[in-house]
């Protein structure tokens, strides 16, 4: 508050104009004029008599009251409540002001312009993290906690850290959490699936971090979604909006939910020993239920109450078709018109040789597409090195490509030598379809480019003698220079025929 003594000094001693005094003391010029006029009426001059202190001076200027009468008090609206109400669709400041005016006496009301200005001033004074506006059923924020939950192997006693997955709805802060063994793509997608089942519906957007399971290529403006993750989003009818790299405030809700989960769940379970993920998740569900039922001071209600009152009915319904984890891979068709998926080979129509396709890999089937068109479908097989071949995919006379045929490969092997020809012939005749041996034959052809033909012939002869006719055997012989060495006595020795001597076939 300004000093009356200083005002009189500036007026009567310094003889400053009223405008200069108002700027100096931070009061209006009309106030300076009114107080100066009262001082003159009371006969006050400068310097003031020594007997007049500040309290007496105020009494002389203002009369019986030592301070000027205060203006009528205005009723302040609840700015926090205004902020929450504005997050609802169709609610405006005009509507909220009308409700405020109906509930407030006339002499205590702010005008509409003052009402709006005071709300805007209040928003500016809030921390930056409060400026994000979350609408019901709009965004689901996803993240992993930095801390892990130890899981003990009951057989070995070894411990590994299980990863805590956290999903939180932006508006209600309703939270889902569970632990998984890893953060890899299958666990990442499975946790999303269980989270949506937990919420009982689908939001408009999912906001993940830029981890590799979610985003193939992180970019501030146009990140590339992992195709498997994008397929999951397509099934549920939800959009993926990854947070910008190095911008944690884009997912402040997730960061805060992770912090709460670490304190409310992991910290409380730190003295427990778990022997399986299911046991740990059962304990987490109990604590998660307490967390969601706990009253939040900033809202005056719990996460569950906010979710059930404002958000659950606005979520999109879950799809009728059950989701089956489907991993999407880019594959290239080899000249034998097969693609390799997890060391097994699946055929496609031979017209797609050397083209890049997409393979949709579920637990039961392998579906191969060109764009949106399905060109091949096979039952999934776990037999490594084997082939799943549809005869309708094969060209006439088993020609996979006009430039390659069994005859051409044998003619090439003949130029190298008889041992190479014998090896190639064994490969071609050892498969149900000759085309299935083309990969090994071309691998042998590539060795002819790296080593002399004479060395390749010697390596093939040595492999045939050792009865180990795999391509990797020929490659190892060449890499170790064994083709340039004579056979050792153990390698060249032949055992006499006898009924008591068991051959290699006995151990197959």
- Residue-wise pLDDT tens digits, 88-143: 767 888 889 888 888 888 778 888 998 899 888 888 887 654 445 678 888 899 88
Q: Is residue 252 part of a domain?
A: yes
Look at the alpha carbons of 180, 185, 190, 195 in this order and tell me if their dihedral is positive or negative: positive
Q: What is the structure's pLDDT at 495?
A: 47
Q: What are phi and psi of 207, to 5 degrees?
A: -115, 95
Q: What's the CA dihedral at 469, 474, 477, 480 to 10 degrees?
A: -140
Same-domain pairing of 162 and 309:
yes
Q: What is the structure's pLDDT at 244?
A: 62
Radius of gyration for the alpha carbons in the chain, expressed in angstroms and rounded? 41
Q: Which of 398, 416, 440 is the last residue of a domain?
A: 398
Domain of 152 in residue numbering reads as 139-314
User: pLDDT-based confidence at 402, cuts 50/70/90?
Assistant: very low
Q: What is the structure's pLDDT at 174?
A: 92
End-to-end CA distance of the chain: 102
Q: What is the structure's pLDDT at 78?
A: 87
CA atoms within 13 A on the CB side of 90: 0
Same-domain pairing of 115 and 231:
no
Same-domain pairing of 272 and 358:
no
Instruction: Using alpha carbons, select from 37, 283, 306, 314 the residue that is nearest to residue 162.
Output: 283
> Taking 60 as the threshold, does the pLDDT of residue 218 lie above it?
no
Residues 280-305 have a mean pLDDT of 89
Residue, of 1 and 87, whose pLDDT is higher: 87
Q: Is residue 505 part of a domain?
A: no
| C-alpha distances in Å from residue 103, one per residue of 71, 108, 253 | 21, 10, 34
User: pLDDT-based confidence at 70, cuts 50/70/90?
Assistant: low
Residue, of 199 and 508, whose pLDDT is higher: 199
User: pLDDT-based confidence at 281, cuts 50/70/90?
Assistant: very high
Same-domain pairing of 210 and 357:
no
Q: What is the structure's pLDDT at 403?
A: 57
Q: Is residue 321 part of a domain?
A: no
Residue, of 256 and 493, whose pLDDT is higher: 256
Q: What is the structure's pLDDT at 293?
A: 92
Residues 346-368 have a mean pLDDT of 90
- Residues of the chain above pLDDT 90, percent: 19
Alpha carbon of residue 400 to chain centroid: 42
Distance separating alpha carbons of residues 270 and 147, to the nearest angstrom: 11
Same-domain pairing of 54 and 97:
no
Q: Is residue 39 part of a domain?
A: yes
DSSP secondary structure letter of residue 182? -
Q: Is residue 68 part of a domain?
A: no
User: pLDDT-based confidence at 222, cuts 50/70/90?
Assistant: very low
Q: What is the structure's pLDDT at 64?
A: 46
Q: What is the structure's pLDDT at 240?
A: 82
Distance separating alpha carbons of residues 233 and 225, to the nearest angstrom: 10
Burial letters for 268-294: b for 16+ Cβ neighbours within 10 Å, e otherwise? Answer: ebeeeebeeeeebbebbeebbeebbee
Sole residue written with tokens 């989701």: 323
Distance separating alpha carbons of residues 38 and 16, to the nearest angstrom: 17
Residue, of 93 and 49, whose pLDDT is higher: 93
Mean pLDDT of the chain: 81
Q: How many domains is the chain partitioned into structurally?
A: 5
In contact, 206 and 142? CB cutoff 8 Å: yes
Residues 45-49 have a mean pLDDT of 79
Residues 441-451 have a mean pLDDT of 84
| Residue 311: strand, helix, or coil | helix
Same-domain pairing of 143 and 278:
yes
Lowest mean pLDDT among 5-9, 118-122, 257-261, 500-504: 500-504
> Taking 90 as the threshold, does the pLDDT of residue 283 lie above it?
yes
Q: Is residue 276 part of a domain?
A: yes
Same-domain pairing of 413 and 394:
no
Q: Is residue 507 part of a domain?
A: no
Residues 41-49 have a mean pLDDT of 80
Distance separating alpha carbons of residues 417 and 287, to the nearest angstrom: 73
> Taking 50 as the threshold, does the pLDDT of residue 221 lie above it?
no
Instruction: Using alpha carbons, select from 357, 362, 401, 402 the residue that is nearest to residue 376.
Output: 357
CB atoms within 10 A of CB 8: 21
Q: Is residue 469 part of a domain?
A: yes
């Amino acid at each position: 508050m300004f000093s009356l003594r200083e005002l009189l000094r500036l007026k009567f001693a310094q003889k400053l104009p009223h405008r200069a005094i108002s700027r100096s003391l931070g009061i209006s010029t009309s106030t300076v004029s009114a107080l100066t006029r009262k001082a003159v009426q009371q006969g006050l001059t400068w310097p003031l008599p020594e007997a007049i202190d500040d309290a007496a001076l105020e009494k002389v200027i203002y009369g019986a009251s030592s301070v000027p009468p205060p203006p009528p008090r205005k009723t302040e609206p609840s700015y926090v409540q205004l902020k929450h109400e504005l997050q609802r669709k169709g609610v405006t400041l005009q509507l909220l002001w009308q409700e405020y005016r109906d509930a407030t006496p006339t002499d205590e009301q702010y005008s509409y312009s003052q009402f709006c200005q005071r709300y805007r001033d209040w928003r500016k004074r809030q921390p930056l993290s409060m400026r994000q506006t979350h609408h019901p059923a709009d965004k689901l924020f996803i993240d992993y906690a930095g801390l892990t939950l130890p899981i003990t192997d009951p057989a070995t006693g070894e411990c590994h850290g299980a990863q805590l997955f956290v999903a939180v709805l932006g508006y209600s802060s309703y939270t889902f959490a569970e632990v998984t063994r890893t953060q890899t793509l299958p666990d990442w997608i499975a946790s999303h699936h269980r989270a949506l089942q937990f919420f009982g519906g689908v939001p408009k957007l999912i906001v993940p971090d830029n981890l590799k399971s979610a985003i193939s290529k992180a970019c501030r403006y146009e990140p590339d979604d992992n195709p498997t993750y994008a397929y999951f989003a397509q099934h549920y009818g939800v959009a993926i909006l990854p947070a910008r790299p190095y911008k944690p405030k884009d997912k402040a809700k997730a960061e805060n939910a992770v912090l709460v989960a670490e304190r409310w769940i992991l910290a409380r379970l730190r003295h427990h020993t778990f022997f399986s993920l299911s046991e740990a998740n059962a304990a987490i569900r109990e604590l998660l239920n307490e967390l969601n039922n706990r009253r939040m001071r900033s809202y005056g209600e719990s996460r569950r109450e906010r979710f059930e009152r404002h958000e659950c009915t606005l979520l999109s319904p879950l799809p009728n078709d059950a989701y089956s984890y489907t991993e999407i891979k880019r594959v290239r068709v080899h000249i034998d018109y097969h693609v390799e998926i997890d060391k097994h080979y699946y055929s496609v129509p031979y017209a797609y040789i050397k083209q890049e396709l997409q393979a949709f890999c579920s637990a039961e089937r392998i579906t191969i597409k060109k764009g949106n068109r399905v060109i091949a479908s096979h039952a999934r097989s776990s037999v490594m090195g084997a082939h799943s071949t549809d005869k309708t995919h094969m060209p006439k006379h088993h020609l996979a490509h006009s430039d390659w045929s069994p005859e051409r490969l044998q003619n090439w092997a003949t130029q190298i030598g008889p041992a190479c020809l014998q090896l190639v012939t064994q490969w071609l005749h050892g498969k149900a379809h000759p085309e299935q041996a083309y990969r090994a034959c071309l691998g042998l052809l590539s060795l002819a480019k790296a080593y002399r033909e004479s060395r390749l012939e010697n390596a093939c002869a040595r492999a045939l003698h050792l009865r180990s006719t795999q391509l990797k055997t020929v490659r190892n012989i060449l890499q170790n220079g064994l083709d340039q060495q004579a056979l050792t006595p153990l390698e060249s020795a032949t055992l006499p025929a006898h009924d008591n001597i068991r051959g290699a076939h006995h151990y197959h």
